[in-house]
Amino acid sequence: MGIFITTIFALLLSPSVELLDSVMLQTVDVVSSLKLDDDDSRSTYLSTTLDRGQLEGRQVYSVKELSAIVPNFYQPDYGSRMTSSIYVRGFGSRIDQPVVGMNIDEMPVMNKNNYDFDLFDIDRVQVVRGAQSALYGRNTSGGAINIYTLSPLKFQGKRLMLEYGNGNSMRAKAAHYARYGGKLGWSASVNYSHSDGYFLNHERGGNCDGGDNLAVRLRAQYLVGDKWSVDNSFSAGYTDEGGWAYRAYNTDDGTLAPVAYNDECSYRRFAISNGLLIKHYLDWATLSSSTGYQYMDDRMDLDNDFLPLDYFSMGQYQKEHSITQEFVLRSHDTGDFSFMAGLFGFYKHSDMSAPVCFKQYGIDNLILKNANDYYYHLLGPDRELSFEDDNFVINDDFAIPTYGAAAYLQLGYRLGGLDISGGLRVDYERSEMDYDSRASVYYKTYISHEVYTPLHTVFKGDNSTDALELLPSLSLSYGGDWGNVYASVRRGFKAGGFNTQLFSDILQSKLAGALIGNEQDADASSTVYEPETSWNYEIGTHLSPLSDGSLGVTAALFYIDCRNQQLTVFPKGMSTGRMMSNAGESFSYGAELAVKYSIGRVVIDAAYGYTHAEFKKYVSGTSDYSGKRLPFAPRETVSANVSWRLPVPERFASSLLFNVGWKGIGHIYWNEENSLGQSFYGLLSASLMWEKGHFAASVWGKNLLDEEYNTFYFRSIGNDFFAQGKPLQVGVSLHVNL
């Protein structure tokens, strides 16, 4: 905390500079998007963009809080910042590869464990729905989230924010932005947040979901003459939190037990990233080079049975380095013909350990019971298997390098009001895995024996998977001053990978077989899953029917055909693992509508999304789920927000802004049988911000009606669990802008 306070004073004492709204180099905006148009009025996709004022006015501090504000976009709070699952238009993934890519200042985030972080000093967030694989490649079959941090060439000054709310939650931020000589801009910012949490663990005592987060960002931008710009952004962040407030569900009476588990659950993450973006401005095009480096060191410890019993606990400790390089040549939008060409390459290396510790209750009920039942029927009751120790560890270690390369080309032609665009991306990637899974126990098979025999079980080897994907896109658009109408077809791609969480179950089976003298050879083929692909069809419109631009309407109808769908499969019975399998074929169709209307001092935003997502074909074991709805993705998302700048005397305030918002989500099916679900629920939020000169203060509230709802469901060793959404949150904030 001392470092944070020192940084605040250093930033506040830095010399002030002139304020500028934007920066242009010739006719090119140096803070514009590399690949997508900043003006969506002629685009052939739907996107939702929130600027800095909207994000701060609505108290949006994470991507999760964009759920329902963005139609058919849902990122639930699964219990920690590690589980950043996102669902768009019916599709998503609980583990491993996401359906949505994230880019921060044009640099791709290579691991979805890094998707959940505090948004501070953000210029804008753009959420694009529909497959964007032709431009962005892997893991963008559902869309892309483009986050742009505040540029020191666009804004200059000092920003300070302090906030306090219930749950002893607090947030503090300090930043300094400067520009010198019209060419050089630099910024430094630091953000800290803390919460005691909201959910009591009745077994351990104290709240289980509190935590601390600290982040630092440094950015420098330099305009080199009239033809070049250099932009380097460095960030570092640390997270230390609890989480996983999971409540056991009683299937007989439909009640939820309090949170009660006996082992610690925690998540810690240290991450750094650096992005270097160089642009060269030609008379007819812009050539850019973006180079990114990311490092992540995260550690998860979990009471994996989530019960007040000594079943088993697990950890996941991961260190990952990744490097990305991309070159983009994009023509200026000055003629009838346009093009974009790019080359992309990446390499990432992950070292991961995932130990599973079986404790006495788990040993007795998950291992010894089955083995002794076997012994009893085979050799009689005079033999009984037992272990010397009351716990043992299955150690799983992995080294996973992944690398890939892609080339893409997109061409466009404008004929009057008609735009025709087509593109193709050729994407290749390969992933390899070295695995080492092992366990040691001391056991005896006769009750009368006193000596325990050592048993060492090992499952070691390597595996690999690769894929070559052709990712085409084609779109037509017709427009004018009133907006446009469009139709598009795009192919989406979600990368394959490895089922690292399956190795503990494999070794358990080998161990159980060895204990009864019947150890089986393990097969690692099930640890590989293949890419998921989809075809996305969409028709839509962007309308601005009023001449003053006060009304904006976007709408679309879509259909998605998904093949080789990656589905999380849980073995039946008392098994502890889970795996990803290309087990299904699915489709979804739906609609999206967003309206923004400004009248005087009032701005009204409303959005609606509907999705019908269904298994076309899915047979898991003896169960056929064909025709069932896809779980975890909501059928409907609804949001409405009114911002009213109240008329007040100037001596009292320069501005008094009232925001009230409501969003609804549901119905959500929790399982493939569609036997459990979360009904539609709504969350009300509001804020009142007073501004005077350099100062601003606000009072705010989220979930003002204290709605109770569930955000997640899962099944483990025969038990059902739910995660509950956060309750009523209220607080006050102070802002200083110099």
Residue located via tokens 């306070």: 5
With a cut of 70, say whether residue 490 has pLDDT above it: yes
For the segment 518-545, the average pLDDT, to the nearest whole number, is 87
For the segment 537-562, the average pLDDT, to the nearest whole number, is 94
* Cα separations in angstroms, 335 against 285, 409, 410, 515, 735: 12, 18, 15, 75, 45
**Pairwise CA distance, residues 313 & 363, whole Å:** 12
User: What letter does residue 142 receive in the DSSP assignment?
Assistant: S
Cβ-defined contacts of 251-254 (< 8 Å, 24+): 251/720
Task: For the chain, give the mean pLDDT.
Answer: 89
Please tell me whether residue 377 adopts helix, strand or coil conformation. Answer: helix
Q: How confident is the model at residue 377 (pLDDT cuts 50, 70, 90)?
A: low
**Pairwise CA distance, residues 205 & 262, whole Å:** 10
Per-position DSSP letters for 638-673, written without gaps between them: EEEEEEEE----TTT-SEEEEEEEEEEEE-EE-STT
This prediction has a pTM of 0.91
Per-position DSSP letters for 676-692, written without gaps between them: SEE--EEEEEEEEEEEE
Cβ pair 683, 656 in contact under 8 A: no
Reported as a single tens digit per residue, the pLDDT across 90-109 is: 999 887 889 999 999 999 99
Cβ pair 173, 121 in contact under 8 A: yes
Residue located via tokens 């939008």: 333
Q: How confident is the model at residue 576 (pLDDT cuts 50, 70, 90)?
A: low
Counting the structural domains of the chain, the total is 1
Element (DSSP H or E) covering residue 356: strand 356-358
What's the confidence (pLDDT) of residue 27?
40
Reported as a single tens digit per residue, the pLDDT across 7-60 is: 433 443 444 333 333 344 444 455 678 898 777 777 899 999 999 989 988 889
Reported as a single tens digit per residue, the pLDDT across 119-140 is: 999 999 999 999 999 999 999 9
Centroid of chain to Cα 485: 31
What's the confidence (pLDDT) of residue 85?
87
Domain at 294, CATH number: 2.40.170.20
Q: Containing domain of residue 301, as a range? A: 2-737
Reported as a single tens digit per residue, the pLDDT across 205-228 is: 899 999 999 999 999 999 998 899
Burial of 722 from C-beta contacts in 10 A (0-12 / 13-18 / 19+): buried
With a cut of 80, say whether residue 2 has pLDDT above it: no
What's the confidence (pLDDT) of residue 374?
66
The torsion defined by the Cα of 330, 332, 338 and 340, in degrees rounded to 10, comes to: 10
